[in-house]
Amino acid sequence: MGWIFIASLVLALVITHKPLGDYMYRVYTSVKHNVVERFIYRLLGVQADSEMRWAVYARSLLAFSVISLLVLYGLQRLQDKLFLSLGFDPVPDHIAWNTAVSFVTNTNWQAYSGESTMGHLVQMSGLAVQNFVSAAVGMAVAITLVRGFARRGTDTLGNFWVDLVRGTIRILLPIAFVGALVLVAGGLVQNFIGPHEIAGLTGPTNMTGGPVASQEVIKELGTNGGGFYNTNSAHPFENATGWTNWFEIFLILLIPFALPRTFGKMVGQIRQGYAILAVMGVIALFSVTLTNVFELAGDATVPQAIGAALEGKDVRFGVANSATFGAATTLTSTGAVDSFHDSYTPFGGMMTLFNMMLGEVAPGGVGAGLYGMLILAVITVFVAGLMVGRTPEYLGKKIGAREIKLASMYFLVTPILVLVGTALAMGNEAGLAAMLNSGPHGFSEILYAFTSASNNNGSAFGGVTVNTPWYDVALGLCMLFGRFLPIVFVLALAGSLAKQTPVPETAGTLPTHRPQFVGMVVGVTIILVALTFLPALALGPLAEGLLS
């Protein structure tokens, strides 16, 4: 049954990627603004038709993110003074900082427990808003990089405010509205009920509610992942049935798998988009399959004693569908969980880690996945160029010294954050104190935390106690640098590509739409990641799995 579940998801994505990809192409290339948008641009005081150079685009994006950060921090610190606080205290400063960074960077790492920390106003008008706009920012950056390839001899790349507003209003909002109602039909709650006691069958029991469905849908669609409640998409009010589980995985993968089509249309060669889609698809299928195999095999002492890897999993999802969710959430930058990765088998848990270490490119977060994958394609043509001794080019644009420097810096950001962060934590009392499990599994918890934060995923090997000032600050910095440094490098790369006039294709040009190129990108991706992270994986999940 688990295999039909996967096959049906693939089928659904095959059906949707084309219309959605084409629609997004029209959204980002249309010259017309609709009435609502014109009104919004007037309120914003921006000239919607003026084009930006990359540096202006980047500064606008950073300005928007800084203000978002401040507003979200303020909302949390002042929640007791505002309405719908449910009587909760202001969020402590280090948690508020961590949470603000987390949601603005599309990470949604959660150092708090939703049902006992955040009032409905902070959830609905703070956290959920960032679920929308951080996703729209990711898409804007991806589209800008694509424009860099598509445009010729210009130094402008579009208008950040237009990309932001269109992504939010024309793409995310309509899908979210319909999706939220589908989820309510499945049993998710949508109300303003706060914590209270009710009569249970054998005694009083606690109950709470909230505007959950409207937040759940964008949490998946925007590959954000921050749960309304502490147990995230395992909670019955966030994920009520076997089919809402399917639908939530579908929402996670919907936009990331449609964007390559948008890319292909924008560069005028749809087959180039399909090559990128093929790379994503191959890696994703491989990873989902392996995660299922490892979890179903249940190869470790405790799962053997239990008879299945069922610790941390709910009956209505079962082992196989939980494994598929776990793979989908880490292959993208989502980080929502319907089962707890800390209790996965050693190799099943390693797959979730490895997925994130791939840089979340298969298919990756909304936008972030596409630009990550395009960077890998650039690195691949560079490697191929070295092998045959020709100047590498991609989509007619020369990959010269400046381009490859930017691409390399992009790639190096996350490994540095992950490995240096983990090393600091292991060499520091405050870092070590957070482990729940001991030995290799404890190391995996810390490695997972830094991998998740630096890649803007947000899922956790939940045993680690992260709501301490040391971790809140350290992981907050990882999230911040892990998000915005790569974005700046991508925008700079887009700027330098847009300036070039395309070189004509010759017999020596490496075709980048054939299976050969797809295979090369897959190879480069896996080799780069394996070389970078294998030593760390060997100390954690590999040691645990092989010793048992």
Partner 1 sequence: MERLPSWIRQHLAAVRAVIVLTLVTGAIYPLLVTGVAQAVFNHKANGSMTDKGSELIGQKFTDADGNPVKKYFQSRPSAAGDGYDMLSTAASNLGPEDVLDVLPDPNGADDAAKEGKQSLLTQVCARSKAIGELEGVSGARPFCAPDGVGAVLKVFPAIGTPTRAVSVNQACPAQPFVAEFQGVKVECGKPGEDYAAGRTVPVRGNVTDVKVPADAVTASGSGLDPHISVAYAQLQAARVAKERGKPVEAVRKLIADNTTGRALGFMGEPGVNVLMLNLALDKE
Total residues contacting partner 1 (rule CB under 8 A)? 122
3 state DSSP class of 506: coil
Minimum separation from the CB atom of position 104 to partner 1 (A): 10
The answer to whether the CB of 488 falls within 8 A of the CB of 424 is no
Listed ranges 37-45, 95-103, 361-369, 386-394: which one lies at the site for partner 1 (CB under 8 A): 37-45
Q: Which two tokens stand for residue 41?
A: 């641009």
Residues 264-293 that bind partner 1 (CB under 8 A): none
Residues 156-195 that bind partner 1 (CB under 8 A): 161, 164-165, 168-169, 173, 176-177, 180-181, 184-193, 195
Q: Does 401 bind partner 1 (CB under 8 A)?
A: no
Amino acid letter, 18: K
Q: Does 447 bind partner 1 (CB under 8 A)?
A: no
3 state DSSP class of 339: strand
9: left (phi over 0), alpha (psi -120 to 50) or beta: alpha
Minimum separation from the CB atom of position 150 to partner 1 (A): 25
Q: Which two tokens stand for residue 489?
A: 């490098």
Residues 406-445 that bind partner 1 (CB under 8 A): 436-441, 444
Site string for partner 1, 330-349 (x = CB under 8 A): -------xxxx-xxxxx--x
Listed ranges 11-19, 143-151, 210-218, 495-503: which one lies at the site for partner 1 (CB under 8 A): 210-218
236-265 in b/e form (b: 16+ CB < 10 A) is ebbbbebebbbbbbbbbbbbbbbbbbbbbb
Amino acid letter, 2: G
Q: Which two tokens stand for residue 291?
A: 């995660």
Q: Measured between alpha carbons, how far is 360 from 508 in angstroms, rounded to an integer?
A: 32
3 state DSSP class of 433: coil
The answer to whether the CB of 264 falls within 8 A of the CB of 271 is yes
Minimum separation from the CB atom of position 264 to partner 1 (A): 29
Q: Which is nearer to partner 1, 246 or 263 (CB)?
A: 246
Minimum separation from the CB atom of position 270 to partner 1 (A): 32
Residues 505-524 that bind partner 1 (CB under 8 A): none
Q: Does 309 bind partner 1 (CB under 8 A)?
A: yes
Q: Which two tokens stand for residue 280?
A: 């994503």
Q: Which is nearer to partner 1, 207 or 386 (CB)?
A: 207
Instruction: Give how far Cα 526 sits from Cα of 49, 102, 142, 287, 355, Å.
Output: 42, 27, 22, 12, 10
The β-bridge partners of 393 are 398
Q: Which two tokens stand for residue 94?
A: 């280090």
Listed ranges 309-317, 362-370, 376-384, 483-491: which one lies at the site for partner 1 (CB under 8 A): 309-317
Residues 42-61 that bind partner 1 (CB under 8 A): 43-46, 56, 59-60
Minimum separation from the CB atom of position 509 to partner 1 (A): 40
Measured torsion, CA atoms of residues 486, 489, 494, 500, in degrees rounded to the nearest 10: -150
Q: Does 525 bind partner 1 (CB under 8 A)?
A: no
Site string for partner 1, 79-118 (x = CB under 8 A): ----------------------------------x-xx--
Q: Which is nearer to partner 1, 59 or 499 (CB)?
A: 59
Minimum separation from the CB atom of position 187 to partner 1 (A): 5
The β-bridge partners of 156 are 53
Minimum separation from the CB atom of position 77 to partner 1 (A): 16
Q: Does 34 bind partner 1 (CB under 8 A)?
A: no
Minimum separation from the CB atom of position 451 to partner 1 (A): 17
* Cis ω for the linkage preceding 363 (within 30 of 0): yes
Q: Does 306 bind partner 1 (CB under 8 A)?
A: yes
* Among candidate residues 393, 357, 361, 358, the one with its CA nearest the CA of residue 374: 361
